[in-house]
Structure 1
Amino acid sequence: MIVLTLWILLAAGLTAGSVFFPGPVSNNVAIPGTDAQRAHDLMAEGFGPGYDPGGTIQIVLYSENGPLTSQRRTRAVNRAMDRIRDLPHVVEVMTPYRMGGLAPNREIGLITVKLQGHDNNKLAETTKAISAAAEPVRGLGIEAVPANAGTPADKEIKTGASEVIGVVCALLVLLFAFGTLVAAMIPIFAALVSIATGLGVISLLGHLVDVPKQASIMATMIGLGVGIDYALFLLSRHRKLLGDGVPVREAVRRVSASSGGAVVFAGGTVVIALSALMLAGFPMLRTLGWITGISVVCAVLTSVTLVPALLGLLGHRVNALRLPFMGRRRKDADGSSGWAGLGSWVARRPWGVLVLSIAVLVALAAPALALKLGPIDDGYSDRGTDTRRSYELIEAGFGPGMNGPLVVVAELEEAVADREPAPAALQLLKDQVAAVEGVRFVGDPLLNTTGTAVLVQAVPEYAPSDPRALDVVEDVRALRLEGMSVHVGGKVAGMADAGNTIAERTPLVVGVVVLLSALLLLLAFRSPIVAIKAALMNLISLGAAFGALSLVFSLGLGSGLVGMDPPVGTDDSYLTTLFFSVPIDSYIPLMLFAVLFGLSMDYEVFLLTAVRQAYLKHGDNSRAVAEGLGTTGRVITSAALIMVAVFVAFIAYPDPMVKIFGVGLAVAIAVDATIIRGFLVPATMVLLGRYNWWCPRWLDRILPDLSVEGHDEESMVEEEPRKELVGAARS
């Protein structure tokens, strides 16, 4: 009761703290050492207000019933600008009637607001206030939509309906698996306490570190899935012990000593995989990794403390409120489970199962060769949001490149002392940038207060998500002008640098994750072959996930079915709304790799542990594989169904990143728990035979004596089979 009370108080306290003192979220995508970051640093050196990150907000005006230049509409626009000038931190309001502020059709215009001294973490609130001040134009039927606001309110990622759907689906799976309402509610309760605790910690951390806006949703997705899964493994073992006649207290002790260790080990692999993102060279990805790991740590802690406390309090009432026709295990004629029968079937024909499994997995992974990476712009946001509407209006009035202008900053080798007349270097920079192929318009050059840098804004001909926009960035950076060095910043340049940095670091991250995970398995099972094989199996499941992402998003086969809206400029035909290509941000595959590798290792640990225990008891490898699959097949399948249900529920989120993660995670877990754990792993273990547990004598001597599931009376090894195994290991 003490443990239960402490967890409830902790979760309630952290939740209350996050509600009353919520930490801000950060949109910082800076990458130190890149060209885009150098340009952004120079922008802050004396170019005046509005050139700091988040220093400019635009209000897009659209007059459907006539030009903005009519007398009545001009007066309304001027009144709106006067109201905006009166707001805090507003230092300049630029009229849409300036050069470049009004579209050729005179129906679309831009009010540009420059800020200074504001809090970038509260940019959404600032944007809302500026949008409200533009109300006079709306009275004349003029549409006024905020743009370029970093993370406006309609684009913030918030928790809500998807979590409810995921929890409901998980409850249905648990009811079907256990057949009792009380047992089904234990993993749900533990996971909710875990999520509340983790989200509270993450929210309060926002006061100390930059927390990405995606952190809460990623933590919820992963934490909810693993929290339910870990509690499910413990509960399944506990109910089996109760069914065998073990007293309640003894059953709880055995569960904590054995399966609790496996949960800690499995959670540790997920945390290690996420922590490896610190090597990615992308600060946002690094922070996203370790913050998401907090939710996994909370899931592990609640599983090994709160769940045993609940089991001890409930006793045999854990099987109360039984539902009819649910939770009854099907047995074969010999009394074994259907999963054990599958294991025996695989053991009789391992080569055929191996070949067929590999063929299916290759077919699933093949589309990954067509995976298209690139920045995804606001043109893919949900229709009806301010983000999408402002993007559409700007593209219609000023061209697609206006949604991702380039900020070109040139450092001068010699400071300009005499500003009158304008130095020739300023005009030279403008002319050279304008001559680059793909540049549509270049603004007037601006010299900073110290005379050491020149800034021009260049509008490309292409949308930010168009690969040709990246070519324009590289061509501008390739300019070599006497007496100055050119740097390019802005959204497109920043994403280009992020992609390049991540591509360079990906082999390092992948190598560290694979090696550390294999090392953990080696320490746990004392078998190099098992460790290497497990790492390879996890990589195979990742191939299937990336193949699914490529099919849905890169090839566009059903992107509309997951809730994506077609990009701006496409027709509204039925087929177009269902099938269209969507770029995938360059950091998503690496984040998916880390998450999926850790989650896949969970199932590997539970299956290998069961097989190893069976093998240590009688030394028959084929029989051990069948028994291990029979012991874990049902619980792994239930856990995978829960994970898939949770991840599919998150596809309903409006944010494209969340949809991509939902599809990739759901497919990978489904493939991992069925084809890989049900067929491929058992087949390879049967074919390897005794070599599954082979360990060189020198390695066996230096490895510490660890055990994933500890030791209890039920898992004690018989002396003769153990001697036989030890002898084989040293031979």
Structure 2
Amino acid sequence: MSTIEDGPLHSVMARVGGLATRRPWWVLAAWLVLAATVGALVIGFGRVTDEDATLPGSTAQHGRDLLEAHFTGSDDATGQVLFRGDTDAAAPAAPAEQTGDVDAAPATPAERTGDVDAAPAAPAERTGDVDVAALAAPAERIGAVEHVASVGKPVLSADGHTAYLDVTLDVGPRDVTTALADEIVAAAETPGLEALPAGALAKPETDTRRSEAIGIVVALVVLVIAFGGLVAATLPLITAIVTLICGVGVIGLVGHLTGIPSVATTLGTMIGLGVGIDYALFLITRYRALLAAGAERRTAIVETVASSGSAVVFAGGTVIVALGGLAVAGVPILATLGWTAGLVVLVAVGSATTLLPALLMLLGARAGRVRRASRPSAWGRLADRVTHRPWRYAVTSAAVLLAMATPVLSMTLGQTDAGDDPAGSATRSGYDAMATAFGPGVNGPLTVVASLSPAATGPGDPRLAALSSAVTATAGVTKAQPVRLSGDREVASIRVQPATAPSDPATLDTVERLDALTVDGAEVSVTGQTAIRGELADRVGERMPWVIGIVVLLSALLVFVAFRAPVVAVKAALMNLLSVGAAYGVLTAVFQWGWGVRWTGLDGPVPIEAYVPMMLFALLFGLSMDYEVFLLTAVRESWQRTGDNRASVREGLAGTGVVITSAALIMVCVFASFVLSANPVIKMMGLGLAVAIAVDATVIRGLLVPATMALLGRANWWTPSRRRRPAPSPLPDTAGVG
């Protein structure tokens, strides 16, 4: 017997089911209070996100830490308000009169403590269709907005058609909300000029309501068809919505305490909708099957939670363990995405195994009964064909999966920027305007930091001049501000504008050249989001084999614990690797090669964000194990009754095919709907998850798994145990999984 069928977990879940049936109103009230409390807190305090990347132990992070330690306020957010005029206006001003030659962008207040400076040209000398004198009024209005610490002098483009103001806030990037950014841009509005946000003020779109609505509508349609009734169909949606309110709401609230990227809340929404509906679907299917077999309502609920509920706990545990494996990567953003997604899965498991049984008890017969099929299902006929010709189906399906995975051999990791967002979005508009007017590197400035030992004697210290000369002469650097010296004279910094865009690999080459600079008595490092994300990509590449190995091992161990069958555990891990490989191949072909990328709403190929493949691996490996656990549980039940391997495989696939297909269809539609997001990273996540689940539920669970199980015969259920356990009593015939 397996742990799911008669182990300690089975007993615990039976008690959970008993409690839910004895005190359904109490269970329902507890969930409603929790959801109402979290919802009220989110409405009152908002869900805060932070796109700032950190990477402990990296050279770029070391430079950033030096700035924060020696320059007051260096962690304050800085953005820009861009002013754009009529491009058909007067002739451009002479290039010699522009401020961008040395001081392309005013330094942040943290960098203004030194006294080595070169005065920028007076704004009054500019000509063109943006009158810098007219920007005094909007600058004053911006300065009056709460949390605005200072507003820099206008910086005019060479053609005179564009200017920007640096806006420094007294809060960190985490606290720059969309409302605050909108208020600043509104204050900047000036007749005859277009005001656009850039930098920290250009907040990425995080509204997922359209995707959520599409996912819920599709799920409702599929559930109504699967259950033949509206009451039963709405129950999985209720548990999923409660999961979203509680799980995703808590993630947003935790953003007030620590950095949470916007992709974490969106990913939590995707996972919450997907697994929240799926877990409830599996449980309701088992419950209705037990009712159809003649079980009393309360007994059916308790048995459902004990059997299928145990499978849900194991499936959810596998997802959480897989996500936990991301911690070994040593990349904070991956660890954050891992625990936030794991939190949502935990809430989904809890709502499915406690809230759903309580609702079933309260609804009674209104949840309906299953309709018995009068003839073999399509899945039953497919099961017959696969088990009669297992070699043909095993080889063909494996070949298809390997072909889909082939593009992954050319996958390269990089970093996206706002220039990869869909055209017309707020982030893309500001990015493009800045790049066109001031050069592509203006959107990804670098900061060269030098730790001086001994401390500088003063602004005239020869090391400062040597540092400035070395930075200015570095290939790939177009502009450099004057050297800034900290108040204690132990650290110097120079803000640099590279010649290339943040996502351009050539920018990382510039970072490497700057990192390699040698100045006597100074230790040089380069920091900035571009530099940190470049090192992040390198670390992800180095750690990925370790993460994959740990996730595969832990997941296989969980399956072994669940079924006490090492062959099944190893085979499950290998099958899931194939589904992940297929998803990677599609990602590479679409986003890196550009095959059909315009269908996703993007203009062309974009870099594959460094952390996306590793995050997808953990998620996909865990989610794929969900279907494996449910299918194997049904096959195992039949095997315990009959001892006939091929008949068990046929019965398991025929009995679970419809419900697994329904669950997968819902999850695929939910994930695919998030391709509509403006964020390229969310598009990658959504497409990768949708493809992997579709492949997993059809090619792998429908063809490859049953074919290989038919070929392996009794070896599937071999166990190293020396004592044979007696076969259990026959279980009720079910059409669901459990």
**Shorter-chain TM-score: which interval?**
0.7 to 0.9
Q: Does 1:131 align with 2:185?
A: yes
Return the match for 1:149 from 200, 210, 233: 200
Q: Is the 8 A contact 1:329 1:337 kept in 2?
A: no
Please give the alpha-carbon distance, in whole angstroms, between the structure 2 residues aligned to 1:121 and 1:215. 16
Identify the range of structure 1 (183-192 vs 73-82) with the bigger mean alpha-carbon deviation.
Answer: 73-82
Map of 1:522 onto structure 2: 560
**Measured at CA, do residues 35 and 125 of structure 1 come closer, stay the same or move farther in structure 2, by a change above 3 Å?**
farther
- 1:80 counterpart letter in structure 2: P
Matches for 1:377-396 after TM superposition, within 5 Å? 377-396=417-436
Instruction: Say whether the 8 Å CA contact 1:376–1:582 is kept in structure 2.
Output: yes
Residue 534 of structure 2 corresponds to 496
Give the 5 Å matches for 1:277-288: 277-288=326-337
Q: Which amino acid aligns with 2:188?
A: A
Change (3 A) 1:311 1:507: same
Residue 714 in structure 1 maps to residue 738 in structure 2: no
- Which among 54, 68, 75 is matched to residue 30 of structure 1? 54
Query: What is aligned with 1:94?
Result: 152
User: Residue 11 of structure 1 is aligned with which of 18, 35, 38?
Assistant: 35
Q: Distance in 2 between the 1:143 and 1:131 partners?
A: 10
- Farther-moved stretch of structure 1 (376-385 vs 268-277): 376-385
Count of matched residue positions in the alignment of Structure 1 and Structure 2: 673
Task: Check conservation: 2:435, 2:443, Cα contact below 8 A.
Answer: yes
Does the aligned pair in 1 maintain the 2:268–2:340 contact within 8 Å? yes
Superposed, which structure 2 residues align to 1:438-449 within 5 Å?
A: 438-449=476-487
SS of the aligned residue for 1:382 comes to coil
- After the TM superposition, which residues 74-85 of structure 1 pair with which residues of structure 2 at under 5 Å, given as runs? 74-85=132-143
1:117, CA displacement in angstroms?
Answer: 5.8
Deviation at 1:9, TM superposition (A): 2.7
Q: 2:524 aligns with which of 486, 499, 502?
A: 486
Check conservation: 2:47, 2:249, Cα contact below 8 A: no
Match of residue 652 from structure 2: 628
Identity of aligned residues (%): 46
- Residue identity opposite 1:262 in structure 2: A
Q: Report deviation, 1:133.
A: 2.7
* Pairwise CA distance, 1:262: 0.6
Whole-angstrom distance in 2 between the partners of 1:211 and 1:495? 16
Distance 1:284 1:117 in 2: 21
Shift of the 115–232 alpha-carbon distance from structure 1 to 2, 3 Å rule, reads closer
Q: Secondary structure at the match of 1:695?
A: coil
Change (3 A) 1:72 1:588: closer
Structure number with the bigger relative contact order (C-alpha 8 A, sep ≥ 6) is 2
- CA–CA separation in structure 1 for the residues paired with 2:648 and 2:372: 21
Instruction: Determine if contact 1:43/1:409 at 8 Å carries over to the other structure.
Output: yes
Cα deviation per residue 1:422-454 (whole Å; 9 max; x = unaligned)? Answer: 222222112212222222222221111111121
* Cα distance, 1:535 vs structure 2: 0.4
The SS at the match of 2:487 is coil
Is the counterpart of residue 644 in structure 1 residue 668 in structure 2? yes
The equivalent of 1:407 in structure 2 is: 447
Deviation for aligned residue 1:658: 1.1
Structure 2 Cα separation of the partners of residues 479 and 293 of structure 1: 43
Q: Take 1:711 and 1:647, find their aligned partners in 2: how far apart are those partners?
A: 39
Aligned to 2:207: 158
Question: 2: distance between equivalents of 1:7 and 1:601?
Answer: 28
2:620 is aligned to: 596
**Structure 2 vs 1, CA of residues 115 and 18 (structure 1 numbering), >3 Å: closer, same or farther?**
closer
Partners of 2:286 and 2:356 in 1: how far apart? Answer: 12
Q: Which residue of 1 aligns with 2:288?
A: 239
- Aligned residue number for residue 395 of structure 2: 355
Kindly provide the amino acid, as one letter, of the partner of residue 280 in structure 1: A
- Per-residue CA distance 1:24-76 (angstroms, 9 max, x = gap): 32233111111111111222244455x4351x221222221536735982331
1:44 to 68, 71, 85: 68
CA RMSD, Structure 1 to Structure 2 (Å): 2.3
Please give the alpha-carbon distance, in whole angstroms, between the structure 2 residues aligned to 1:204 and 1:213: 12
The letter for the 1-side match of 2:506 is R
SS of the aligned residue for 1:80 comes to helix
Q: Assess if the C-alpha contact under 8 Å between 1:124 and 1:149 holds in 2.
A: no
* Contact 1:47–1:446 (Cα < 8 Å) also in 2: no
Deviates more, 1:111-120 or 1:664-673: 111-120
Q: 1:682 to 1:394 in 2, by over 3 A?
A: same
The answer for the alignment partner of 1:556 in structure 2 is 594
Instruction: Determine the C-alpha separation between the residues in 2 that align with 1:428 and 1:447.
Output: 14
Q: Deviations over 1:257-313 (max 9, x none)?
A: 111111111111111111222222111221221111111111111111122122222
Asked if the contact 2:455/2:489 (under 8 Å) is kept, the reply is yes
- Counterpart of 2:121 in structure 1 is none
Quick one: which of 240, 244, 254 aligns to 1:195? 244
Task: State which of 596, 611, 615 in structure 2 corresponds to 1:587.
Answer: 611
Distance 1:89 1:15 in 2: 27
Task: Confirm whether residue 204 of structure 1 aligns to residue 253 of structure 2.
Answer: yes
Alignment of 1:476 with 2:514, yes or no, is yes
Which amino acid is the alignment partner of residue 142 of structure 2?
A: I
Q: Aligned in 2, Cα 1:253/1:544: closer, same or farther, shift over 3 Å? A: same
Q: Matches of 1:697 and 1:159 in 2, distance apart?
A: 50
Are the structure 2 counterparts of residues 208 and 80 from structure 1 closer, same or farther at C-alpha, using a change threshold of 3 Å?
Answer: closer
Residue 109 of structure 1 aligns with an amino acid whose one-letter code is A
CA contact (8 A) 1:611 1:627 kept: yes
CA distance in 2, matches of 1:223, 1:341: 33
Please state if 1:300 is matched with 2:349.
yes
Question: Secondary structure at the residue paired with 2:319?
Answer: helix
Secondary structure at the residue paired with 2:449?
A: strand
SS at match of 1:343: helix
Residue of 489, 505, 517 corresponding to 2:543 = 505
User: Aligned-pair distance for 1:328?
Assistant: 6.1
String of CA shifts for 1:579-607, please: whole Å, max 9, x gaps: x2111110011111111111000000011
Distance of 1:483 and 1:243 partners within structure 2 = 82
Q: Distance in 2 between matches of 1:147 and 1:71?
A: 21
Question: Is the CA contact (8 Å cut-off) linking 2:268 and 2:341 kept in structure 1?
Answer: yes
Distance 1:328 1:249, change over 3 A: closer
- How far the C-alpha of 1:126 sits from its partner, in A, is 4.0
What is the SS of the residue equivalent to 1:426? Answer: helix
Q: Is the 8 A contact 2:173 2:200 kept in 1?
A: no
- Supply the AA of the counterpart residue of 2:532: G
SS class of match (2:609): coil
* Structure-2 separation of matches of 1:231 and 1:90: 48
Distance, in Å, in 2 between the alignment partners of 1:547 and 1:682 is 24
Amino acid paired to 1:61: F
State the partner residue of 1:569: none
CA deviations on 1:666-686 (whole Å, 9 max, x unpaired) are 000000000000110011111
Q: Larger deviation: 276-285 or 509-518? A: 276-285
Task: Name which of 301, 314, 318 aligns with 1:252.
Answer: 301
String of CA shifts for 1:327-350, please: whole Å, max 9, x gaps: 866554xxx433222112111111
8 Å CA contact 2:51–2:173 kept in 1: the answer is: no
1:88: how far off? 4.4
Alpha-carbon distance in structure 2 between the residues aligned to 1:679 and 1:299: 29
| Unpaired runs of at least 5, structure 2 | 1-23, 91-125, 734-738
The alignment status of 1:112 with 2:166, answered yes or no, reads yes
- Deviation of residue 504 (structure 1)? 2.2
Per-residue CA deviations over 1:550-588 (Å, capped at 9, x if unaligned) read 111111111111112x2xxxxxxxxxxxxx211111001
Q: Deviation per CA, 1:186-218, whole angstroms, max 9, x where unpaired?
A: 111221122222123223333433332222211
Partner residue of 1:61 out of 79, 83, 104: 83
Pick from 266, 271, 281: which aligns with 2:320? 271
Distance 1:22 1:480 in 2: 47
Q: Which runs of 5+ in 1 are unaligned?
A: 321-326, 567-579, 717-731
How many Å apart are 1:398 and its aligned residue? 1.5
Which residue is 2:633 aligned to? 609
Q: Aligned partner of 1:283: which letter?
A: P
Query: Aligned-pair distance for 1:529?
Result: 0.9
| Equivalent residue, structure 2, for 1:313 | 362
Give the aligned partner of residue 112 of structure 2: none
Q: After TM superposition, give the deviation of residue 86 of structure 1 in Å.
A: 3.7
